């Protein structure tokens, strides 16, 4: 029987293992963490019925690949969709921006021709599927030309700067922005019990299928021997005789795992740019948003010290969390940013002024607990014609494969497309 090693027990790695196992191929997963889920894994405090993710996640109604997988696992009834409130900040106030009527009256888009151009551009982007043409120009160029400079400056530029920083905001291609508009819904989904429950159930399903999952096992290197078999070297030993290896981690991690990759492929990996993420998850005694808002889009040029504030318990009832309020303050940041180095309390002190801008009554004695989470690889940066720069999932080293967020393009990360790409890769390996 063919044996395949999978590096990483996130949704991609587990989907690959499921498909390969169904085809009679023995898969073995190596995971450096103590539990499955990758960047979407979570934690549960004492007294909570549900877990929360380290980095906030939700699903969309069009996420057919992910929802289909959950159905296969017999867990469809655990998926719940709700329509929480999303707001935009404009001239000192928050305005709803989660329905068409709300968008029509949002003052940040101006009136008359500005709003008409914005609306027509949005309709076109919801209808077109020709993202290949859109990746030839930047989001700034396309939106300025068709939606108008006013709409771009007031609506899209703050989001692009918040997401990619001033270094990359003007260089991101329009296909990336199209994908966000085309695929998303105002109704958002999650998993009863928290997403960690989904991952735990998925891992248990795989183990019952015969897939070995080695938790707390960081892979140091991968080596292909003269007999064309692979060795996976970890801190606690060597695992041999794999016919193929699939790496589901970051491009930088991939570079460090194999020195047998040819220079041309290594150069492709090195050329991929990305940002990290820092999130502070705060447990409070009182709601931060009296209006019940879930997602705050926050422009940094207004002095907010983070990109988004997410009041999770205005999406999932706080009764699931012992009546606590769960708030995330998160940002995508370049490597070396001071937030990566700060401790939890130090970071909290930086972010509290932002909490008070949202709710002037906020008091530090509301705080029950604070947890900081950081990831070096969280947001790939897609430049113009990015599709030409994406490394093939089948590397030039025969039998070695690589799948990452940087290849899930033009889509913006997301579990749904991780499942789709994993299904495709598994199908190609099975047929080869």
When pLDDT is cut at 50, 70 and 90, the band that residue 318 belongs to is very high
Mean pLDDT calculated for residue range 333-353: 94
Give me the pLDDT at residue 184, please. Answer: 79
pLDDT at 168 over 90: yes
Specify the higher pLDDT residue, 370 or 307.
Answer: 370
At 340, list the tokens: 């990566």
Give me the pLDDT at residue 263, please. Answer: 96
pLDDT at 180 over 90: no
Average model confidence (pLDDT) for the chain? Answer: 93
pLDDT at 117 over 90: no
> What digits encode the pLDDT tens for the residues 233-265?
998 889 999 999 999 999 999 999 999 999 999
pLDDT at 154 over 90: no
> What digits encode the pLDDT tens for the residues 277-290?
999 999 999 999 98
Angular region, 292: left φ>0, alpha ψ -120 to 50, beta rest: left
Residue 408 is given by DSSP the state S
Q: CA–CA separation, 402 vs 289, rounded Å?
A: 42
Give me the pLDDT at residue 229, please. Answer: 95
Give me the pLDDT at residue 91, please. Answer: 83
Give me the pLDDT at residue 398, please. Answer: 96
Give me the pLDDT at residue 290, please. Answer: 85
Task: Give me the sheet containing 188-191, strands edge to edge.
Answer: 59-60, 188-191, 79-82
Give me the pLDDT at residue 107, please. Answer: 82
> What digits encode the pLDDT tens for the residues 86-108?
998 888 888 888 777 777 788 87
Give me the pLDDT at residue 159, please. Answer: 84
When pLDDT is cut at 50, 70 and 90, the band that residue 381 belongs to is very high
Number of other residues whose CB lies within 10 A of the CB of residue 152: 22
CA nearest 47: which of 369, 371, 372, 374? 369
Residue length, the chain?
Answer: 432
- CA 373 vs CA 57, 376, 415: distances in Å: 14, 10, 19
Give me the pLDDT at residue 236, please. Answer: 87
Contact assessment for residue 263 and residue 399, using Cβ atoms and an 8 Å cutoff: no
pLDDT at 338 over 90: yes
pLDDT at 109 over 80: no
Contact assessment for residue 273 and residue 386, using Cβ atoms and an 8 Å cutoff: no
Mean pLDDT calculated for residue range 75-86: 94
Q: What is the SS3 assignment for 209-262? A: HCCEEECCCCEEEEEECCCCCEEEEECCEEEEEECEEEECCCHHHHHHHCCCCC
Of 81-90, 135-144, 193-202, least confident by mean pLDDT is 81-90
DSSP lists the bridge partners of residue 230 as 224, 242
When pLDDT is cut at 50, 70 and 90, the band that residue 368 belongs to is very high
pLDDT at 111 over 80: no
As a whole-number percent, the residues of the chain with pLDDT over 70 amount to 100
CA nearest 51: which of 73, 31, 36? 36
At 130, list the tokens: 């020709």
Mean pLDDT calculated for residue range 364-371: 96
Residue 27 φ/ψ, nearest 5 degrees: -110, 140
Contact assessment for residue 359 and residue 279, using Cβ atoms and an 8 Å cutoff: no
> What digits encode the pLDDT tens for the residues 396-411?
999 999 999 988 889 8
What predicted TM-score, i.e. pTM, was given to this entire model?
A: 0.93
Residue 145 φ/ψ, nearest 5 degrees: -70, -45
Which residues 6+ apart lie within 8 Å of 147 measured at CB? 117, 118, 121, 122, 155, 156
At 204, list the tokens: 């248990």
Domains and CATH numbers, the chain: 3-47+193-272+389-431 (3.50.50.60), 99-183 (no CATH), 274-381 (3.90.660.20)
When pLDDT is cut at 50, 70 and 90, the band that residue 110 belongs to is confident
pLDDT at 225 over 80: yes
Give me the pLDDT at residue 273, please. Answer: 94
Give me the pLDDT at residue 342, please. Answer: 95
Of 91-100, 223-232, 311-320, 347-356, least confident by mean pLDDT is 91-100
pLDDT at 6 over 90: yes
DSSP, collapsed to helix, strand or coil, labels residue 386 as helix
> What digits encode the pLDDT tens for the residues 22-68?
999 999 999 999 999 999 999 999 999 999 999 988 999 999 999 99
């Amino acid at each position: 029987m063919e044996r395949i090693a999978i590096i990483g027990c996130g949704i991609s790695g587990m989907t690959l293992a499921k498909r390969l196992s169904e085809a009679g191929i023995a898969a073995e997963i190596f995971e450096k963490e103590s539990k499955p889920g990758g960047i979407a894994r979570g934690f549960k405090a004492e007294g909570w019925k549900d877990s929360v993710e380290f980095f906030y996640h939700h699903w969309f109604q069009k996420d057919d690949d992910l929802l289909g997988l959950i159905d296969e696992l017999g867990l469809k009834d655990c998926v719940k969709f709700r329509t929480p409130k999303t707001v935009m900040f404009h001239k000192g106030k928050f305005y709803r921006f989660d329905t068409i009527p709300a968008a029509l009256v949002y003052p940040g888009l101006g009136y008359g021709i500005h709003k008409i151009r914005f609306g027509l551009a949005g309709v076109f982007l919801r209808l077109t599927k020709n993202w290949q043409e859109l990746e030839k120009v930047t989001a700034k160029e396309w939106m300025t030309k068709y939606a108008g400079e006013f709409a771009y400056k007031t609506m899209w530029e703050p989001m692009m700067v918040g997401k990619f920083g001033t270094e990359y905001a003007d260089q991101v291609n329009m296909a990336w922005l199209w994908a966000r508009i085309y695929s998303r819904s105002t109704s958002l989904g999650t998993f009863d019990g928290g997403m960690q429950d989904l991952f735990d159930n998925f891992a248990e399903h795989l183990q019952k299928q015969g897939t070995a999952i080695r938790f707390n096992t960081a892979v140091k290197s991968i080596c292909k021997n003269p007999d064309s078999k692979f060795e996976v070297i970890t801190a606690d030993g060597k695992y041999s005789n794999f016919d193929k290896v699939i790496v589901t981690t970051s491009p930088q991690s991939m570079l460090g795992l194999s020195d047998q990759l040819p220079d041309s492929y290594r150069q492709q990996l090195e050329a991929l740019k990305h940002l990290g993420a820092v999130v502070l998850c705060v447990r409070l005694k009182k709601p931060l948003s009296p209006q019940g808002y879930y997602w705050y889009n926050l422009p940094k040029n207004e002095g907010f010290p983070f990109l988004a504030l997410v009041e999770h318990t205005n999406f999932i009832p706080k009764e699931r969390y012992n009546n606590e309020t769960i708030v995330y303050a998160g940002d995508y940041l370049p490597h070396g940013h001071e937030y990566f180095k700060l401790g939890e309390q130090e970071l909290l002190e930086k972010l509290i002024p932002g909490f008070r801008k949202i709710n002037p009554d906020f008091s530090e004695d509301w705080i029950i607990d604070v947890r900081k989470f950081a990831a070096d690889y969280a947001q790939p940066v897609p430049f113009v014609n990015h599709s030409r720069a994406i490394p093939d999932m089948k590397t030039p080293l025969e039998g070695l494969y690589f799948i990452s967020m940087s290849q899930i393009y033009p889509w913006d990360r997301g579990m749904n497309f991780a499942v789709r790409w994993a299904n495709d890769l598994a199908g190609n390996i099975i047929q080869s």
